[in-house]
Structure 1
Amino acid sequence: MAAKWTGGHSSSILCLNVNMEGLVASGAERGELTLWDGTGSPAGQLQLPEADDVTSVVFSPRCPTKLYTSHGETISLLDVRSLKEPTERFHVNEEEINCLSVNETDSFLAAADDSGAIKVIDLEKKKVSRSLRHSNICSSVVFRPQRPQSLVSCGLDMQVTLWNLQKARPLWTTNLQECKTEEDGPQPAGQFFNPPLAHSLSVASCGNIFSCGAQDGKVRIFRVTGVRFDRELEFQGHSLGVSQVLFLPGAYWLLTGGNDGKVLLWDVSGDVGKQQKSPAKSLQRRKAQAPAAARKDGKLNKVASNDQAGVLPKLSIDHGEKVNWISCTEIKGSKRVLVADQSSSISVYPLPEP
């Protein structure tokens, strides 16, 4: 049974984030923002102006008292020591913001919105330094750890894109609909009605491995090598869309949450961790070992399927409600997964140790 954190919201919780000191922030519909201490008690509450839904909350990685929130087309910077009026506000997006990300040096903030735009704000100069774009709603954007100028994004155009802030154009883009393996065979009739709209991204602590969750229920894991990325692994994670993916800190353990009401924990370290030291040699080795039918134009066409990779969840939580957001924190020395859904409470489940 999950523990429940209640009393912080009156409407559906849409987003979560945890700072380095264990303080949890949650944003909900109608402008509700709440802070929670490690015991699950509300530690502060604020009603943001205009009562727009709070769609993303993210703490500064350098200063745990700074909290960036998106509500409607606006980004507000709050001081969690005194939840009052925002200390700064940015209004640079033209449509509702879906996701915020701050790089690890706290120098750039990226905001992805419904128009497909990603506005990158220089936090020192307090102005937009880059405007990047998807052709449809941009659902997720994440800066890569250890690479403060590099970020990945995805959207309902089924594109996953690697960017560098020194360039206005994408370094590399993959269309999930075109990214099929030979083992997939002909496209099932139902697939036409369930395209791989990309919903969520998470980058592992190493900065080179990232995961994408999509509407077709599949979880895809990519490896960045230089200015491009390749698909490392793909497996059917959920029976409905994957709304959330989250790599646990310092590990290749991946949490996923779905529209099927399940929260799953996957150990992909055997598939990606062992190749981390030399991805280029690993790719060459896999090319050499692959049969001729799997090679096309010098590229490896096949990607590990469920059976080949042996990817099975280490933990399956039947949460029962569509998952809006997942996060991870440590309570009394043990890891916990926090789950936000259509309700006004946060569910808390214990996690095994990596």
Structure 2
Amino acid sequence: MKPRRLKGHEAAVTCCIASRARPGIIASSGEDGRICWFDLRCKDVLFTIDLGEQPVSSLCFKAGNEDIVYASSGTKVLCLDIHMVSSWKPLETYNYNKDEINQIAYSSKSNFLAAADDSGDVKIIDTSQQCLYKTLRAVHTSICSSVQFLSWKPWAAITGGLDSKLAMWDFSKGRPSNVIDYGMPEVDGTVSCGNVGQCLNPAFVHSIAVPETDMLLGLHKACAVARGDGVVDVIDLESGLATMKSKNFSQSKNFQSRSKKSGIQAANQATGRNLGKRIQLDYSLGGHTAAVSCVSFSLFGERGKFLISGGNDACVKLWDWSRYFCAEQTSCNNDLILNIDVKKKVNWLCTTTADSENLVVCDTSKLLKIYTVL
């Protein structure tokens, strides 16, 4: 499968996002401190925004107004208006994170922005008031690599980190409601561990994907997790939350006054084990043979029908995960639809809403690669 290559960066591309309001419009960021804007109908980059020497680690659109894009660079989040690219001066700058930011996300239901950083903290920023709203901490003991809001559940966010933990939060209270520790031995007899005896590549959480509201028709309210042991874990969050109701952290009225050590101990005690409906897409099913770096639900065709993952094995996998959740299948042996060898380690990926079913891949080269997958 020969890709189309988009040029504009001078170093590795770290992130890409696809416009939903303008099919075919792609924004990407790189280690060169640059944001590139592409229109797939054109051959060349439309324009670039140079933010400085520090890498731009993550991008996201403002919900409901894709003329506004947020970018994380170092410990800062910058708000940019694409109609002001000639000056590239940020409309707003948020500098609440104390360590390097790994991912930012914007809520589809409110004016909140989340920024996850290397300290393990997540800053929730109220962009309407331009102030810090909450800090989510005392769960992740290492780098917090990913954060997402839940589109169907107000005041809910989910985070993952290189401590192998996946945490769900009520960010209005700054409290975790459930913590899953992938570093703990599996005790759920209904779930097979994809990489039994794994020791060289721990199950760090590198990326989280959550379906948007228009993807949920006929599908469960799920979360996909890209893990360092080569597994893509897909969890029915509603079922998982129901089983953890009796262990909710709201039992403690003094959570915010606890020390960090006590908070970590409490999180470990509430680690979720019984996760309800769940699938693990691993190497035994044709999956990744190295760490999975990113995962995304498809925007083309029947939105959310496919799950796409990229990894350090320089492969991109296309999974028909919905067959298991919707048809009550007991096996996912036929869920791998497509395997693409992209030759380079995959940093990030996204899909477009265009009819051509485009897959956009960021890898360790200086190029964006566009594949037509179906």
Q: Common fold, TM-score beyond 0.5?
A: yes
- Partner residue of 2:202? 195
Contact 1:235/1:311, CA 8 A, preserved across alignment: no
Listed as ranges, the gaps of 5+ residues in structure 1 are: 276-285, 287-303
1:214 aligns with 2:216: no
| In structure 2, C-alpha distance between the alignment counterparts of 1:219 and 1:187, rounded to whole Å | 11
Q: Deviations over 1:111-136 (max 9, x none)?
A: 00011110000111111111112111
Is 1:122 paired with 2:117? no
CA displacement at 1:271 relative to structure 2: 1.5
1:338 aligned residue = 360
Match of 2:28 in 1: 26
Residues 2 and 85 of structure 1: CA distance in aligned 2, closer, same or farther (over 3 Å): farther
More divergent stretch after superposition (83-92 vs 37-46): 37-46
**Structure 2 counterpart of 1:53:** 55
Distance 1:166 1:186, change over 3 A: closer
Distance 2:194 2:368 in 1: 41
> Identity rate of aligned residues, in percent?
29
Q: CA RMSD in A?
A: 2.2
Retained in 1: the 8 A contact 2:4–2:371?
Answer: no
Q: Distance in 2 between matches of 1:314 and 1:344?
A: 28
Structure 2 unaligned spans of 5+: 245-271
In the superposition, relative to structure 1, how do residues 25 and 100 fare at CA in structure 2: closer, same or farther (>3 Å)?
same
Letter in 1 for 2:63: P
**2:9 alignment partner in structure 1:** 9
Using the alignment, how far apart are the partners of 1:41 and 1:330 within structure 2?
A: 20
Please say if residues 210 and 222 of structure 2, whose CA atoms lie closer than 8 Å, have aligned partners that are also in contact: yes
Q: Check if 1:43 corresponds to 2:46.
A: yes
In structure 2, do the counterparts of structure 1 residues 209 and 47 end up closer, same or farther at CA, with 3 Å as the change threshold? same
Q: 1:240 to 1:61 in 2, by over 3 A?
A: same
Give me the whole-angstrom Cα distance separating, in 1, the residues matched to 2:77 and 2:172.
Answer: 23
Report if aligned partners of 1:6, 1:346 keep a CA contact under 8 Å in 2: yes
Question: In the TM superposition, what is the alpha-carbon distance from 1:4 to its structure 2 partner?
Answer: 3.2
* Residue equivalent to 2:84: 82
Give the 3 Å change call, closer, same or farther, for CA 196–165 of structure 1 in structure 2: same
Determine if the alignment matches structure 1 residue 242 to structure 2 residue 292. yes
Q: CA deviation at 1:166?
A: 2.2
The equivalent residue for 1:99 is 103
Q: What is the distance in 1 between the residues matched to 2:194 and 2:123?
A: 38
Hey, what does 1:259 align to over in structure 2?
A: 312
1:30 partner letter = D
Displacement of 1:92 after TM fit?
Answer: 0.6
- Give the structure with the higher percent strand: 1
Determine if the alignment matches structure 1 residue 271 to structure 2 residue 275.
no
* Cα distance change of structure 1 residues 186 and 98 upon mapping to structure 2, 3 Å threshold: closer
CA contact (8 A) 2:109 2:151 kept: no
Report 1:67-78 matches (<5 A).
Answer: 67-78=69-80
Aligned length: 319
Residue matched to 1:290: none
Deviation at 1:102, TM superposition (A): 0.3
2:373 corresponds to which letter in structure 1? L
TM-score (norm 2): 0.80
Taking structure 1 as the reference length, what is the TM-score of the superposition? 0.84
**Secondary structure of the corresponding residue to residue 111 of structure 1:** strand
Cα 1:311–1:170 shift into 2, 3 Å: farther
* 2:340 equivalent among 317, 321, 327: 317
Q: Structure 1 counterpart of 2:347, which letter?
A: N
Residue by residue over 1:43-78, the C-alpha shift from the partner in whole angstroms, topping out at 9 and shown as x without a partner, is: 1111103x1100001111210101000011110011
Q: Which residue of 2 aligns with 1:63?
A: 65
| Higher RCO (CA-CA < 8 Å; seq separation 6+) | 2
Match of 1:301 in 2: none
Q: Quickly say closer, same or farther: Cα 1:172–1:215, change in 2 above 3 A.
A: same
